[in-house]
Structure 1
Amino acid sequence: MRLLFLIAIVCSTLLSFGQTRYEAAKAFQDQLNREFADSLKSPLKTEDRISFKELPFYPIDTNFVVVAKIERIEEVEIFEMETTTNRLPLYSPFYKAAFQIDSFPIELTIYQSEDLKNKEGYENYLFLPFTDATNGTETYGGGRYIDLEITESDILVIDFNRAYNPYCAYNANYSCPIPPRENDIHIPINAGVKYVDKK
């Protein structure tokens, strides 16, 4: 009886943890939809915003919420990240993150913006641009982004359900960072925002 009780407690805890991750991803996606519908925040062209209903998302899948082992990059080299225009914003590698998805080992570099790190409210902001095997078919060909924050831990939760498209996917007036080659994931990441090319 006691063993069954303990098993029930563990299962309940795991279910609650999964629900928490699901709810967090859903809240992010709902917020993103609100921003795209907001005339003051939306990257959409006026005609597209007027007809906008919601972004196309993959179904939320908590298997794409990973706990990455992170290592701080000590020898920081500031570099110019390529963009979709001639703009070259300065970034520095901040963490190396290692994790697995479906037993496939992945290592990505997480970056810090040199422009934003001294801006109030963005001191802990980190940037994860990546490409994967869905680009150009189900997702935007130029890759996607995830926003993260600095942590004092040696692990970092990365939720690919929060992956979003660069603004230039919707409006060519934007200048968007191009994910460095080292952040190419060779498997499909079927999570986050999809892309529908209206052209």
Structure 2
Amino acid sequence: MWDDLKNWQARRHAELAGPESWLGIRGLFWLEPGMNSVGSAAGSVVLLPGGPAHLGDLLWHDGRVIWQPVDGETRELQTDIAGQPTVVDFQNWSFFPVDRENRIAVRLRDRDWAQSQPFNGLDYFDFDPAWQIEADWQVLSPPIKMEVPNVSGELKVVEVSHQAVFEVAGQTVTLLPMSVSDKEVFFVFRDRTSGKETYGAGRFLKAVPTVNRKIRLNFNCAYNPPCAFTSFATCPLPPPENWLPFAVPAGEKKWVKPA
């Protein structure tokens, strides 16, 4: 299990140190219906830090995002609603559309970000097998509606049909999943380390699909959300139902930006 954890930590480091890291995000621009200018000119909806004053336009119309460059072919861009978004590259910059509850934003990334400030790595709590918890996976009938806030102050209503129930130091608690798929179950939680040893807005945790009405919660693999690394993320925050009343000294600690 220790080798698995080290491999997971190595993958996390590679993800955050690479050219597509959250640490390279340099802007988040919300589109308006109709035409949206892209360029370095003041007043551009998607404001580039350099390059042509007018690189092109993004047309958001009838649920579609169309890229119309000044030089080049017009093409439709896919958002991240169903997977990886379409990326437009320009010099060392990339931008791509993201869908947030039928609102469209464009994220801007500097692929050369690490040249000025390489990623300095993450700190972790020591591995503790006690935080590999086998929880009961209980059906909620009828399902409940859970309001999930995000860092932008918006609320998303999530339908929850199951809950993970487990015991820590004689205290029975529950965690409600944000999403459940054939590949993973996704949780957002906070605990008594939040804002102290760990990121204040909580942490993420993924688990494999359940077996025999049990789900394995390995808090040694709890990790920081994207908003711990950039102000241009739209992370979900842990709902009150997922505020654990004890400390979880396992997984990633708070990331400190180098001075």
TM band (smaller chain): 0.7 to 0.9
**Cα distance in 2 between the residues matched to 1:29 and 1:92:** 31
Structure having the larger proportion of residues in helix = 1
Partner of 2:109: none
- Structure with the bigger RCO (C-alpha within 8 Å, sep 6+) is 1
1:35-184 equivalences in 2 (<5 Å): 35-40=15-20, 42-45=21-24, 46=113, 50-112=117-179, 123-184=182-243
Distance 1:31 1:49, change over 3 A: farther
Q: Which residue of the partner structure matches residue 34 of structure 1?
A: 14
1:111 & 1:51 partners in 2: Cα distance?
32
Structure 1: distance between partners of 2:173 and 2:229: 29
Structure number with the higher strand fraction is: 2
What SS does the aligned partner of 1:190 have?
A: coil
Name the CA distance, whole Å, in 2 between partners of 1:171 and 1:178: 15
User: Following the alignment from structure 2 to structure 1, what is the Cα–Cα distance between the partners of residues 3 and 232?
Assistant: 33
Length, aligned pairs only: 170
Q: Which residue of 1 aligns with 2:110?
A: none
> Alpha carbons of 1:50 and 1:82: their partners in 2 closer, same or farther (altered >3 Å)?
same
Alpha-carbon distance in 1 for matches of 2:11, 2:186: 19
Deviation, 1:196, is 3.4
Shift of 1:155: 0.8
Q: Which amino acid aligns with 2:137?
A: I
Q: Deviations over 1:105-162 (max 9, x none)?
A: 322212326xxxxxxxx54432111110001111011010101233242111100011
Which structure is larger by alpha-carbon Rg, 1 or 2?
Answer: 2
Which residue identity lines up with residue 187 of structure 1 in the other structure? F
Aligned counterparts of 2:209 and 2:191: Cα–Cα separation in 1: 24
TM-score, normalising length: structure 2? 0.59
Deviation at 1:71, TM superposition (A): 0.4
Aligned partners of 1:149 and 1:111: how far apart in 2?
A: 14
Q: Is the 8 A contact 2:190 2:242 kept in 1?
A: yes
Query: How many Å separate the matches in 2 of 1:130 and 1:72?
Result: 20
State the TM-score, normalized to the length of structure 1.
0.75
**Alignment gaps of 5+ in structure 1:** 1-20, 114-121
Once residues 75 and 67 of structure 1 are traced to their aligned partners in structure 2, the CA distance between those partners, rounded to angstroms, is 24
Q: Secondary structure of 1:173's match?
A: coil
Secondary structure at 1:171's aligned position in 2? coil
| In 2: Cα distance, 1:100 partner to 1:26 partner | 27
1:26 is paired with a residue whose SS is helix
RMSD (Å), alpha carbons: 2.3
